[in-house]
């Protein structure tokens, strides 16, 4: 059997499809707690995590990303979370890697270990302590022989550079992906400059994930690509956006929207939106195309189906899905059979069914970011008095 191709070879030769969102999908299914969004489910409910990996693999994902989002020790111990004591950073990351590797080997998948921004950075504790949090995770990833590393969900380029420095020392390919939009990071660094700085720090693949919908994300990616080209930097690009429409989101993305996190369902992108996203991303030159929060397996399948020609195959998940609604030709109702065609679905403007709801929201836009006293993290649980103070401030 020929050896499995690595990430960089696959990107040089074609398209790599990422997976979708784990924290939101598993929260809805009762395995992740909204608020901390930490991944102790890899130990408490491994069968749920394993099944979600399998759904993404069947839908066309080439990457099984270990469910290690927010799995640093400081996050696992933040604001009353006891997962650091119960399971430890090492325990959570090791379990996540083993699950991802198991499913990756059921197909031709790669396995990645992922880092995210830390409470240590947000609390202003400095580079050495922040990088120690990253190193604790990277050590486990290296021991588990991950195929590459992903530093994702960073709001500040400075912390991202610190993460990339740690990742590069592993000798593995490094993907760096920030949760920013076209306006750049939370300290005012432009999207283009963020891309340049990630590449100069040593990342092999750079881009944007989370916080914004596919099309806002791609606006940011266009700025990033322009800056990379102007700087003469040759790196691959990644996009892994939300599956929620966010045209009204502010600089901090969907977490500023009043619907976050429990009222976002009316904003969900359709599979047809994902066809458009995949095509636009590919045309920009992005070759690592996936999704983040809200992305379900059918969204990833739509990406794979749109890029069938470029990839030379369809995923197993397409066996029960004729493209552009072809399966509706078998429907009993004639008006539904009449919808069996690309022109109908590519041009539909879905209604929400909520006659008293606005189509846009007003973001909270507190402007609080690293360095602000309200973002200093602690191990003790947030008190009711602290919540009341925040609610007064919100008014």
* Count of Cβ atoms closer than 10 Å to residue 356 Cβ: 4
Annotated ligand binding at 269? The verdict is no
**Sign of the dihedral through C-alpha 134, 61, 209, 363:** negative
**Stated length of the chain:** 395
Residue 113, strand partner residues: 149
Residues contacting 232, CB < 8 A, separation 6+: none
What the block records as the tokens of 235 is 């790196």
What the block records as the tokens of 189 is 């660094």
Annotated ligand binding at 292? The verdict is yes
46 touches 99 (CB < 8 A): yes
Annotated ligand binding at 293? The verdict is yes
Distance in angstroms (rounded) separating the CA atoms of residues 364 and 374? 15
Residue for token pair 């999207």 = 191
Residue numbers in the known binding site for Zn(2+) are 210, 292-293
Residue numbers in the known binding site are 210, 292-293
């Amino acid at each position: 059997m020929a050896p499995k191709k690595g990430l960089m070879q696959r990107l040089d030769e074609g398209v790599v499809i990422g997976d979708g969102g784990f924290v939101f999908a598993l929260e809805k299914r009762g395995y992740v707690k909204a608020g901390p969004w930490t991944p102790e489910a890899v130990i408490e409910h491994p069968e749920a995590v394993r099944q979600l990996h399998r759904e993404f693999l069947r839908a066309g994902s080439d990457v099984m990303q270990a469910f290690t989002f927010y799995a640093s020790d400081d996050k696992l111990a933040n604001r009353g979370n006891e997962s650091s004591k119960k399971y430890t950073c090492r325990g959570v990351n090791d379990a996540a890697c083993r699950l991802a590797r198991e499913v990756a080997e059921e197909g031709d998948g790669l396995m990645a270990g992922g880092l995210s921004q830390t409470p240590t950075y947000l609390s202003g504790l400095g580079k050495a302590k922040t990088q120690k949090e990253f190193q604790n995770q990277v050590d486990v990833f290296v021991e588990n022989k991950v195929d590459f590393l992903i530093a994702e969900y960073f709001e500040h380029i400075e912390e991202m550079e610190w993460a990339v420095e740690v990742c590069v020392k592993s000798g593995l390919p490094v993907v760096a992906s920030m949760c920013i939009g076209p306006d750049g990071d939370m300290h005012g660094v432009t999207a283009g400059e963020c891309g340049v700085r990630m590449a100069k720090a040593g990342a092999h693949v750079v881009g944007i994930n989370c916080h914004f919908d596919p099309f806002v994300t791609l606006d940011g990616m266009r700025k990033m690509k322009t800056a990379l080209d102007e700087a003469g930097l040759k790196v691959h690009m990644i996009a892994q956006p939300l599956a929620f429409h966010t045209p009204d989101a502010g600089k901090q993305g969907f977490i500023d929207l009043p619907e976050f996190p429990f009222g976002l369902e009316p904003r969900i992108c359709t599979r047809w939106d994902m066809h458009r996203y995949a095509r636009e991303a590919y045309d920009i030159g992005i070759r690592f195309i996936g999704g983040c929060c809200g992305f379900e397996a059918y969204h990833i399948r739509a990406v794979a189906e749109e890029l069938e020609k470029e990839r030379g195959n369809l995923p197993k998940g397409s066996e029960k899905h004729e493209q552009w609604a072809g399966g509706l030709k078998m429907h009993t109702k004639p008006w539904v059979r009449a919808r069996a065609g690309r022109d109908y679905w590519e041009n539909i403007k879905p209604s929400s069914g909520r006659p008293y709801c606005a189509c846009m929201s007003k973001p909270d836009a507190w402007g609080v970011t690293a360095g602000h006293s309200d973002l200093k993290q602690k191990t003790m649980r947030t008190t009711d008095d602290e919540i009341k103070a925040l609610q007064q401030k919100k008014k």
